[in-house]
């Protein structure tokens, strides 16, 4: 298979729909796709995950808090319709947005019987102002019946599936007790794409024991997969987690803000220019956050990344390469 280098564009040739940024942000993608501002409505389907109910027998991901990354989602005690109505009211207090993404965020949102999933997701996409359905789940919770359902729904509204790959390194997966392997995630991506479903992959920078080279190797791997989007996330050490208990007992080194900004700029330069960047840094719940405390200044981090890109003359895709698949299509890699 012959390597074909992607020809970098000059800064002034960056796509105009990037809106002055040096990467393809979610906001730019949404405006380009739907013609206007689109907000996410964080919903809660009332599910758990195989790590939390002991099905996987790992004891759960060591960084996962009681909210299961859904601390900002609505109450599962409300119907989906009520959650959507409440979330829209909060957003409309500060914006006249007319289109929304129904985002099932908390825990593993395909970890339930298919009839329940069908009811929840169908209710979520019923309102005409819902532009897309986004579902956060695990790669080991996508059986054939679930895939069939998602394919059906994708004919009604665009369906995005978010998968927490986090890292491609098997030893790190064992340390963080994810309960699945990187190869399982790869297979899930391929299965979803065969059905025309968009995939968004999560990566965490700063996982215990990983070097910068290992983190960028994970970025390289994501660039090789047929995913449409990526979320880059800083490791948050939270109270009430196994990782937090370890940190409180004996603090361990974490990425500095400068480390994270440099690493993220390097990562963006390696990713395909058409891959949507859904997140460059995340929000940890402040009441639970032990470290790093600098992560609460999200605006400063984002401004730092944009400044780093400009000062080093980097942009998304600058060092991206691809090979042509002899069987058709494109295989992306570094």
What CATH number does the domain containing 84 carry?
3.20.20
Indicate the pairing of strand 330-333 with strand 289-291. unpaired
The pTM for the full model equals: 0.90
**Integer Cα distance of 250 and 170 in angstroms:** 25
Instruction: Look up the domain containing 107 and give its range.
Output: 3-333
**Integer Cα distance of 102 and 99 in angstroms:** 10
Rounded to whole angstroms, the maximal C-alpha distance in the chain is: 55
Cα distances (Å, whole numbers) of residue 282 to 8, 79, 103, 260: 29, 27, 16, 12
Question: What pLDDT tens digit does each residue of the chain (334 aa) get?
Answer: 222 334 455 555 789 999 989 999 999 999 999 999 999 999 999 998 887 766 555 567 888 776 545 555 667 789 999 999 999 989 988 888 899 999 999 889 999 999 999 999 999 999 999 999 999 999 999 999 999 999 999 999 999 999 999 999 999 999 988 889 999 999 999 999 999 999 999 999 999 999 999 999 999 999 999 999 999 999 999 999 999 999 999 999 999 999 999 999 999 999 999 999 999 998 778 899 999 999 999 999 999 999 999 999 999 999 998 754 433 344 433 2
> For residue 240, what are the contacts with CB-CB under 8 A and spacing of at least 6?
65, 66, 288
Number of domains, the chain: 1
């Amino acid at each position: 298979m012959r390597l074909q280098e992607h020809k970098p564009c000059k800064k002034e040739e960056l796509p105009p729909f990037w809106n002055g940024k040096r990467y393809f942000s979610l906001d730019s993608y949404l405006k380009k796709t739907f013609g206007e501002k689109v907000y996410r409505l964080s919903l809660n389907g009332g599910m758990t995950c195989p790590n939390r109910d002991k099905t996987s027998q790992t004891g759960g991901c060591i960084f996962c808090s009681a909210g299961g990354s859904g601390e900002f989602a609505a109450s599962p005690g409300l119907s989906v319709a009520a959650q959507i109505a409440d979330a829209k009211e909060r957003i409309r207090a500060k914006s006249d947005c007319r289109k929304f993404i129904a985002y099932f965020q908390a825990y593993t949102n395909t970890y339930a019987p298919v009839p329940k999933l069908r009811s929840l997701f169908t209710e979520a996409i019923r309102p005409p102002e819902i532009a897309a359905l986004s579902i956060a789940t695990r790669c080991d919770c996508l059986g054939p019946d679930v895939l069939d359902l998602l394919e059906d729904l994708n004919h009604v509204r665009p369906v995005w599936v978010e998968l927490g790959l986090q890292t491609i390194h098997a030893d790190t997966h064992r340390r963080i007790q994810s309960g699945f392997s990187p190869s399982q995630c790869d297979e899930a991506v391929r299965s979803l794409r065969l059905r025309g479903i968009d995939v968004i992959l999560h990566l965490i920078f700063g996982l215990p024991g990983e070097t910068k080279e290992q983190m960028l190797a994970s970025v390289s791997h994501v660039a090789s997969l047929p995913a449409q989007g990526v979320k880059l996330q800083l490791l948050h050490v939270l109270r009430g987690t196994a990782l937090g208990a370890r940190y409180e007992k004996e603090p361990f080194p974490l990425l500095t803000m400068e480390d994270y900004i440099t690493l993220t700029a390097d990562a963006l330069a390696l990713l395909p220019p058409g891959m949507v960047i859904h997140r460059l840094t995340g929000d940890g719940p402040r009441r639970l956050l032990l470290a790093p405390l600098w992560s609460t200044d999200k605006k400063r981090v984002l401004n730092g990344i944009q400044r780093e890109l400009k000062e080093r003359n980097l942009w998304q895709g600058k060092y991206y390469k691809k090979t042509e698949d002899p069987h058709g299509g494109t295989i992306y890699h570094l």
